[in-house]
Amino acid sequence: MNPKQRIGYGLGALAVIVVVGAIGYIVIEGAPVFDALYMVVITVTTVGFGEVFDLSAGGQLWTMFILIGGFGIAIYTAIASIEYLVDLGDHRRRRRMQSQAAKLTNHIIVCGFGRVGQKHGQRYETEMSTSSSSKSRLTEFKQPGRPMPSS
């Protein structure tokens, strides 16, 4: 399941908690609709303004159920949202790299410029420099934390 779907499921589950929680306060405590909704929202968000109306033991138990379930779902939804934003940044970075690579002409891109990549890079550079008709170019990239290869 991708992060966007998880956000949707999380928001749907939060809506269910709010509706079911409010119905529970209405049935258990005889609370007015608006007060019941308000009580659920301040419980799930852990704002803690205090009870809007006095709670019986059943109401306190219901509040604990809403707090544990609702807060857990809220955290799940928040994590899915953060994951979606991170994936969005990665997607943009990937698209920018692909766009830059598409603009290159007569280039050879060597991915992984370790021992094997350096040998292939040197071979391609030699082949390109000996070919009089070739206008290709090998671009060297420094890997983070590694020294540039010596020619």
Lowest mean pLDDT among 37-51, 64-78, 119-133, 136-150: 136-150
Domains of the chain, start order:
3-102 (1.10.287.70), 104-142 (no CATH)
The predicted model gives 27-36 an average pLDDT of 94
Lowest mean pLDDT among 31-40, 48-57, 63-72: 48-57
- Residue 150's pLDDT is 54
Lowest mean pLDDT among 16-20, 36-40, 127-131: 127-131
Compute the distance between CA of residue 70 and CA of residue 149 in angstroms, rounded to an integer.
Answer: 55
- Residue 77's pLDDT is 94
Phi, psi dihedrals of residue 77, rounded to the nearest 5°: -65, -40
* pTM of the predicted protein model: 0.60
Long-range contacts of 116-120 (CB under 8 A, 24+ apart): 118/149
